[in-house]
Structures are given as structure tokens and as C-alpha cells.
Structure 1
């Protein structure tokens, strides 16, 4: 029986064990295979084929083949480079373009010599809704002079504007656009320092433009009898000046000349400083009495000055004869206008139009030059210092002169050198080489100036230095020693610190008042060159 039970019991228990053993591998194998098949079929259908194709995966080796044709465009670019060169200036100019370069230099230098803030060509029709101040001033002055030339009127006006705003060019352009060429007399208050010199200059210019002697008939014979060994006997036109007794009569006869007369007075405020203002009174009185009649040809007096209150320094009798017309000019208000004026001058057309390729290359090089970051920075710094367009012309002239066949493009280094020559040299270029205590005193002086005190004493700077040492605890100099005092005396000897008053008796040196001639920007540059982080932090506290 035991044998039978032993035989039967394993049969009862073994199936359970067998079933449990059989079910465990089924849970491992049967669920996992469908998951892999579903994932591979749904997510990566390209991997659904059997593994036999995975073994054949190395054939994607032909993929590097597309890289081989990529070398051919490089070769093509190298070959096609000469086709792009006509739009750019080469580094070394070919010999056939030497005449074009010389012609471009002449045209550009002429344009830079006559560079103006006035609108050029089609620049008047900009997107701006209202015309610029110079355009309105030009139209007003041209209309005034047109009335003098065409209708024989007597007019007077004053052109006022800052230096470099195009006052003289405005007057000259208005005269050049008149329908009839008038007699133009140009006087300057810097050359004609008194009325006698001014009247003699008027007589000289009238004699040159009319070709007639302005002497009375009875004076001609006496002058002809006198022999002057320095005058050629066969001279075409003998210009003679009237005697002083007849000089004042010249002004009254100006309206009766065969052509209209325009008198320009540069430095009008300087003529107002002459004794009794006799010249201005005679000119303006003649203008006021001029009427549009058949015998008169018209006269106009145009004063040019930078002084705004010039009309207030005129005498009452002179002011009553002045028309009161004031025409105002202005410089270029925006930096983009400066760049536009520079581009217009640099891209001046040359006379030889056969070199079309040269014009395209030159214009492209000018555009790339004006868009260079360093060029923009240099010009913007100059624009912030002065808006005088003549300064821009001088900078570009030095750059254009440096052009040569080996370097036909405008150079940024030449422009930087020209900017350095035009600016004043730094007064205190040695600040960065000073000792640590000296630079600390400079920073303390900047603190004092920021607090609103232009003058200071040694004790004030010493206290500021002590406070900084206590807060930072990093100063390689003794506070109580003589290092600070010696540094202060060194700055005084270098005239960085200047005494505001002479030393008085009974006042110690430490209580004398000084001022710092070094600007904050110069102190900042010196601190930056030292590389001391603690000094930089201390300087920024003064802002």
C-alpha cells in the first residue's frame, strides 16, 4: 500500500508542480514575443523583416558617396571666383584700372573739399514730411535775391547758424542759381578790420568785375601822367583806386551799376564793432532808399554770422534801416545724415564713363567701408564731439589720399590715424603708470566731484581713502605713513591737482584747496589699465 501511495502521491502533486513550472516559462516567453513583435511592427516598421536582413545592414556604406560630390562645388567656386570679382575691388589693382583710380581720387577729393550739409540732388525728396531747415533757408534766400536781380529791389537779410552749418555755401549756391549773373562783392570782418579797408576792397572788386576806372574824369589825367616802374605799360586792364575823398561815394552809386549788386558780409558781427558802424549805416541806407525804378538795377546786403544776438548790438540808426529778415541754418541733426553726406562725397562719379565695372566695384567698397563696425564707431565718436561737416571732410581726405594700386580700397587704419591726428592728444596719458596711492587719490577726487564739491583739500581725500581701506581691508599701502602725502605732492607737481588760490600765511598745506584737472573718463581709463578689481569697484561707487 505504501508503495502504491508513494506512486500515487507524486502523480497527484507532480502535476501541480509541473503545471506551476510549465506556467512560469509560459508567462516569460509567450507574452514577451508578441510585445516585441507589436513594438517592432508599430514603431519601427523598417525593422519588421527577419534578422537575416539585419546582417545585411552594412551595405549602407554607399552613404559617404554623397560627400564626394560636395567637393566639386568648392572647385567650382574656386573657378567661378573671377566672375564675382567685378563687384569687389581686388587686393592688387590691375594696370588697366590705374587711370580710373586716379580719376576717382581727384573727383572724391574735390567733393570732400566742397562737402556740404545742404541737400544734394535728389536728396531733397526724402520720406520726411517737412523740408529741412537748410532747404527752407535756401528757398527763402533765393527768393529774396531773385527779387533783387529780376525786379531791382533793395533787400537786406542776415544768415545765422552755428559753425559748419553751411551758411557761406548756402549764400554761394543761392547766387549761382540766379537767372542773371550779378556783381558780387565779398567782404570779411576778419580781413577788413575797419571801414577804410572795407571801402577800398569794395572799390577794388568793382574795378575788377566792371573793368572800368572808378576815378572822376578830372583825376584820370593826373594818374596817367604819373609813371610807375612797377606797372607794365601794355597791361590790358589798369585797375586804379579812387582817392579817399571819393570812397564814400562808391556805395551810393552801387544801384546804378549795369548789373545788380550783391554784397556778402562774412563775420557781420565784427563789422558791427567798427567805430560808429559807418559802413553798415551807408550800405543799409542805400538798400532802403533803393526803389524798383528804371534807373536802378537793385542791391542786396547779406550778412553771415554765428552770433545770435548780432541784431541787438546794432545802433538804433542802423537797426532802423535793417529789414529784420533773419534766415537760420542748422547742422546735420542725425548721424545717418553724416553717413549719407560721406557716401555722397565718396561715391562721386568720374568723367570717364567707359569704366562701368570700376564704378560698381568702388561703390561696393565704399558701402562695405561705411558699414564696418570700427568705422562707424570712429565716426560716431567724432559726431558726438562736433557736428561740423568740415571735420568729416578732413578725416576722409586723409583716407582717400592713402589710396594706391596696391591697396585701392579705403582703409580703416588710415581713418583711425586721421581721427587721432584731428583730436587733441590726451593731457594725462601717464595716469596709468602712477603708483597705487596716487590712483587712490584720483578716485577719491572723483568721489568728491560727484558729491558736488569741485575743490577739495588733502584731508578730505585722506579721509575718503581711510574709509575705503577700512571697508575693503585690502590696500598695499600704509594709511598713517607718508605714502599718501608723497603721492599727493607728486600729483601736484604733475599739475593733475591744481591749487585754486595762492598759499596764504598761516594755512597748512593739508588745508589748501585744489581741483582735479583730470576728467572722470581719463581716471577710468587709468584704473582699467591697472587691472585692480578693488579700485574698479571703488570707482563705480562714485557714479
Structure 2
């Protein structure tokens, strides 16, 4: 019996079906993290069905799937009859709603209350906001539950007096109207930006999302991106899915992904770029199924398109002093086997290099600490913990972690314009050899 093959026209239809998933915003596709999905789904469901109010922050680095998680949960919740009949969703983005006045207008628009507000004059933000919520009451006793999703939550902390956040959290705490406030931010210590009165009304619930730590989860996500469903309108989608599953069971393919991709870049954005290149290579070479040669060709194409990495653009805008601090961090993490580190450890490592190899650099502590804060602001160095645990510590002794792969850092620094030879030598030296610089 001759095995059925995935014909070229099927590959074209597969590409059409998957191109949006791989090249779109990525917010409409979410896989894994079932525990977080269940937790958030339960939270919003209780708000709609039982009238419970609550607040939550979803934190994690860019591209980890924070917004995709929220959209996945809201999509699942919308299948419930009680949700369709009662729930109201308000989505605000801090980059658009740059002040409370704009935020109120957007809330009014999304709640379809423009005609209700009309030309009414309100004495304060709280009066206006309370009137909006009161307008949603259906009957004498019940109010429609509202789910507020605040993208770029940290930018709302810059609003005057944090009035919007105060009123949202205050209503959630008082249970006057059933609401659930979901904040989404990449700033893991964002609660430190909240005023005391606002923080006291926040529930202090967090969901922390991180990039893949285990290769098995990474491989599972890789396969999930290529799996088709009946709704994708591909006639031979089952044949395609079986071929994909068989491909990712191949030890050679698994070794390739682990050695060439997982170690290099764990981000979902690079994964999507690579898989799109893989489909393009299949079309270009008239291949009927995925093989190791296609993976290698896709990697070369992806690396060519990623020749200018986002990290390259960030590092080229840094000062040479900030680059040196990153290299010092790299050596510290290697010496102490990726254990957390603080500013004092990095400062000491930098001073040793500066005194021996590049004395024209500054050694002034305040200047170096300012560079250190800038790198933290760019999320190149991330505090290990946030919140109350950091309050009692001096900034110089707060523990941090370094999440940038060493190979990626090396490639980006090597592209730094007019980088001193001494710095490049320090970058490529091993932890053992780096001792010679001291």
C-alpha cells in the first residue's frame, strides 16, 4: 500500500492557514500554561456568575504571552451562557489612555453610555466614574459585572494621583459593583509604583509568566504552532498533523532544535519566525514533508532575517560603560553558576577590569550605578524579587538575575560600533582567563 503524501497544493493551503498565526500579533494563539488559564478563568467566572470582585496582575517579559493568556481566557469564558448575557469587557491600553480623562472617555465608549452621560457635569473623577458604573445597573439590585483589562499597567501608575486605579481597586474591594481588574505589565516590580492608598486596595494576586525553562515544553509549543484544526479549512489537515507529530518524534530533529534553537533563543517570537521560514522553504523546494535539511535551511534564513536582532539595536545605543557592566554581569553569572548577583559584585568585577585594561573609563560609583539602573529599566537585568522584600534593602544589595543568553550577548556586543579591543577581549575571555585581567 502506497502511503499518502502531503501534496504541494496542500502545503500551500497549510501556509495560508498558518501564516496569520505565525506572522500576526500572536495574541490570538495560546498553548500550554493550563494551570494559569484555569486560575484566571475561575477568577473572571466568579465575577460574572457570583458577583465576586477582584484584582490581579499578570507579569512577565515581552513576548511571553501575557495578552494571549487574557484573550484565551476571555474566549473560553464567552462560551458560557451567563457570560454572553451579563458580562461587559472594557479594554484599556496605557499607551493610548495616557491620562484619566482619555481613559474615562474610552470607558464610556466601550460601555455604550455616551447618550447616558450627555452634557452632565461632574465634580470629580470619582463622581463621574461612580455614575458610569451606576448606569450599568439592571433592575433594583443587580449590576452588570465588568471585566477591566489594563494593558501596559505600569503606565497607568503615572496618571495624576492614580485616580483611575484607586477607584477601580476601591470598587473591587467594596463590592459595590462586581468588577474584575486585570493588569498586564512587563515590569515585575510594578506594585512598587502604586501609591499607598492604591496598594492597600489591591488584592496582591499575581500571575508570573516566564520563557521556557524546559526543552520538553519548548518542543511541545513548537509542534502546537504547526498543528491544524478542522476549522482551518485544510482538506488534508489530518495527514499534515500526523506528519508533524512524526517529525517532532525524530531524535535528530529534537537534537537540532535543542542545540541550535533552544540554547540560542527561547523566545516565542523567534520560534514563530523560524517556523514561517520553514514553511517558505517547503514551498520553495517543493518538499512534501518536513526534514532535517529543511530545518537547517530555515535556520539560515531566520538568522539572516534576524541578523539585526532587537538586542543589537538596544546595545548599540548603550554607552561603552553600560556595555562593560553587561560583560561584568556575564562573567559574574559564569563564575557563580548563574546564581543571583547584586550591584556590589558587578561593580567589583568591573573595577578589576578597568584598573588593568582600560583606565580611561570612569570608576565613579554614582555614574556606574546610574548605568546599572538604566540596564534594569531596559529589563536587561531583572530583580529576582519585587515588592515588600526589596523595601528594606539598599539598592546596591538587591539580588538580580541575567536572562540574556551568552551567545546572543556576544554577537550583539561584537556589532557595537568602534568597540575597544580590550572590551572585546574581555567579552570573549573565559571565567578562568578573565582573572588575568585583575
Q: Same fold (TM over 0.5)?
A: yes
- The answer for the alignment partner of 1:310 in structure 2 is 190
Q: How big is each residue's C-alpha offset from its partner over 1:462-518, in whole Å with a ceiling of 9 and x where there is no partner? A: xxxxxxxxxxxxxxxxxxxxxxxxxxxxxxxx83426xxxxxxxxxxxxxxxx3235
Aligned-partner SS, 2:117: coil
Among 25, 43, 67, which residue is 1:144 paired with?
43
**Cα distance in 2 between the residues matched to 1:184 and 1:167:** 17
| Normalised TM-score (structure 1) | 0.51
CA gap of 1:375–1:144, structure 2 versus 1, over 3 A, is closer
Alignment match, 1:16: none
Size of the aligned set, in residue pairs, is: 323
The 2-side partners of 1:186 and 1:159 are apart by 15
Larger radius of gyration: 1
Partner Cα separation in structure 1 for residue 99 and residue 232 of structure 2: 49
Contact 2:92–2:150 under 8 Å retained in 1: yes
Alignment match of 2:274 (pick from 390, 395, 405): 395
- Determine which of 115, 121, 129 is the counterpart of 1:213: 115
Among 202, 205, 223, the alignment partner of 1:322 is 202
2:154 is aligned, of 260, 269, 279, to: 269
Deviation at 1:171, TM superposition (A): 1.9
2:242 to 363, 370, 392: 363
Question: How far apart in 1 are the matches of 2:252 and 2:95?
Answer: 41
Instruction: Give distance in 2, aligned partners of 1:135 and 1:373.
Output: 29
- Structure 1 residue 281 corresponds to structure 2 residue 166: yes
Residue 214 to residue 399, structure 1, CA distance change in 2 (3 Å): farther
Query: SS where residue 56 of structure 2 aligns?
Result: strand
Equivalent position of 2:74 in the other structure = 175
C-alpha distance in 2 between matches for 1:540 and 1:310: 36
Partner Cα distance (2:205, 2:278) in 1: 41
Compute the displacement of 1:306 (Å).
Answer: 2.4
1:516–1:399 CA distance, 2 compared to 1 (3 A): same
Match of residue 129, structure 2, among 251, 268, 272: 251
Partner of 2:14: 104
The question of whether the paired residues in 2 share the 8 Å contact of 1:141 and 1:174 is answered with: yes
Q: Distance in 1 between matches of 2:50 and 2:426?
A: 59
Mapped contact 1:145–1:300 kept (Cα < 8 A): yes
Q: The residue matched to 2:211 in structure 1 has which SS?
A: coil
Distance of 1:145 and 1:166 partners within structure 2: 18
Q: Report deviation, 1:262.
A: 0.8
Q: CA deviation at 1:278?
A: 1.5
Pick closer, same or farther for the CA change 1:153–1:362 going to 2, 3 Å: closer
Aligned partners of 2:147 and 2:74: how far apart in 1? 9
Q: Is structure 2 residue 92 aligned with structure 1 residue 187?
A: yes
The reply on whether 1:417 has 2:327 as its aligned counterpart is no
RMSD: 4.1
Note closer, same or farther for the CA distance 1:84–1:542 as it changes in structure 2 (3 Å cut).
farther
Q: What residue in structure 2 maps to residue 155 of structure 1?
A: 54
Return the alpha-carbon distance in structure 2 between the equivalents of residues 398 and 518 of structure 1: 35
Give the Cα separation in 2 of the matches to 1:325 and 1:541.
Answer: 44
TM-score by length of 2: 0.61
2:420 to 497, 501, 521: 497
Paired with 1:213 and 1:192, the residues of 2 have a C-alpha distance of 21
